[in-house]
A and B are shown apart, each in its own frame.
Chain A
Amino acid sequence: MTRSLPLIGFLLLVGLFGFGIWWNTRHDPREVPSPLIGKPAPAFVLPLLEDPATTVSKASMLGKPYLVNVFASWCVACGEEHPVLMAEGRTLGVPLVGYDYKDAPDDARAWLARHGNPYDMVVADQPGRTAIDFGVYGAPESFLIDAKGVIRYKHIGPFTPEVIERELKPLIAQLKRGTAP
């Protein structure tokens, strides 16, 4: 029996590696799950991209759910996501808030002018300070925040129509019915 222990240990390892290969085909290894899901969104006060004199805060957004989409003009994957948001943004039934991350405002405005603007409003975080409170580590990232200001969902990387159908829309429907867990 003791002579077969090394074999048993090795078979466990093989199982683990097999799992690892399978897991890596379905998950981006760079994806880090956010600890903020189910927690109140951090307080923020950010200027609007189009009108820097006006600010938007967490308090001003309370009362209805909204989707925050972190993007930047320098971010290539955001360009890939952009047409999806253009097509589906208005059908979500919640306001879509663009979060311009570490970007020169002129670049961002030019980018939106060229590719179209799917957002109901765009806030700008040029220094990227508030993004740290949200645990943002790249772009695009998206946060679904409910009427009480609690983060319900985070998607890392570009949205695809499938992800919106499968993950985002059912959650939004739940939030609207007020049956969110």
Chain B
Amino acid sequence: MSRALVRLLAVLLLAFAGLAAAQAIDPLPFKDQAQEVRFQNLTRQLRCLVCQNENLADSNADLARDLRHEVFGLMQQGKSDDEIKQYLVDRYSDFVLYDPPVKPSTWLLWFGPGLFLALGAAVVLVTIRKRGRATRIDSRLVDNATIEQGDDW
């Protein structure tokens, strides 16, 4: 077996270590329904670090289960969602958050779409005004040939 293949195998086994032992379906002793819903919402916003692109709630990975239990434990201690997120960010960096925090490094991400929208809206506005002015110059342009017997289609 070539060395490259061994490496690949090693990486794969590393990624799936414990797959057989763990599972995403993970009954935990919640205090009440509200806490269960809160837990589900929170773990859905957190990333399983070792998976391709999966959240903690749905991941089979062993580490994901450990982190779910950690989150559960912190909830029992009365920590808020933000505190729990911060707890994980302190250990694993912003990468665990599917909801990236707004800060200078993510300004482009959060405000980029607004910028696109503003630029696009300006173009649309100019177009509408320009074409609108043309209708006043020559109302003939508005009567259209496609309106046949009142069928404006």
A and B touch in the complex (CB under 8 A): yes
A75 adjacent to B93 (CB under 8 Å) = no
Residues of A within 8 Å of B124, CB to CB, are none
Q: How far is the CA of A129 from the CA of B91 in the complex (A)?
A: 12
| Chain A interface size, under 10 / 10 to 19 / 20 to 34 / 35 or more | 20 to 34
Q: Does A139 contact B (CB under 8 A)?
A: yes
On whether A77 and B67 interact (CB within 8 A), knowing A35-B93, A138-B50, the answer reads no
Q: Does B128 contact A (CB under 8 A)?
A: no
Query: What mask results when residues 51 to 92 of chain B are scored 1 for a CB within 8 Å of chain A, else 0?
Result: 000000000001100110010000000000000000001111
A32 adjacent to B93 (CB under 8 Å) = yes
Count of A-B contacts judged by CB separation below 8 Å: 60
Cβ of A76 to closest chain B Cβ, rounded Å: 4
A34 adjacent to B10 (CB under 8 Å) = no
Q: How far is the CA of A49 from the CA of B13 in the complex (A)?
A: 24
B66 adjacent to A76 (CB under 8 Å) = no
What is the interface size of chain B, counting residues whose CB is below 8 A from a CB of the partner?
A: 23
B92 adjacent to A77 (CB under 8 Å) = no
Q: How far is the CA of A32 from the CA of B7 in the complex (A)?
A: 19
Segment 33-54 of A: residues with Cβ below 8 Å from B: 33-36
Residues of B within 8 Å of A34, CB to CB, are 92-93
Residues of A within 8 Å of B7, CB to CB, are 80
Checking A32, A33, A74, A77 against B10 with a beta-carbon cut-off of 8 angstroms, the contacting residue is A77
Q: How far is the CA of A39 from the CA of B90 in the complex (A)?
A: 10
Cβ of A122 to closest chain B Cβ, rounded Å: 19
A30 adjacent to B91 (CB under 8 Å) = no
Residues of A within 8 Å of B70, CB to CB, are 129, 132
Checking A33, A128, A135, A138 against B91 with a beta-carbon cut-off of 8 angstroms, the contacting residue is A135
Q: Does A102 contact B (CB under 8 A)?
A: yes
Q: Is the interface of A mostly helix, strand, loop or mixed?
A: loop
Cβ of A69 to closest chain B Cβ, rounded Å: 15
B93 adjacent to A30 (CB under 8 Å) = no
Interface residues of A (CB under 8 A from B): 28, 30, 32-36, 74-77, 79-80, 102, 128-129, 132-135, 137-139, 158
Beyond contacts A34-B93, A76-B17, A135-B92: 8 other A-B pairs, Cβ-Cβ < 8 A, are: A35-B89, A35-B91, A36-B90, A36-B91, A75-B14, A75-B17, A80-B6, A80-B7
Interface residues of B (CB under 8 A from A): 6-7, 9-11, 13-15, 17-18, 49-50, 62-63, 66-67, 70, 89-93, 95
Can you sample 13 A-B contacts with CB below 8 Å? Answer: A30-B15, A32-B93, A32-B95, A74-B17, A75-B13, A75-B17, A76-B9, A80-B7, A80-B10, A102-B18, A128-B66, A129-B70, A135-B92
A-B residue pairs, 4 tightest by C-beta: A135-B91, A76-B13, A77-B10, A137-B49
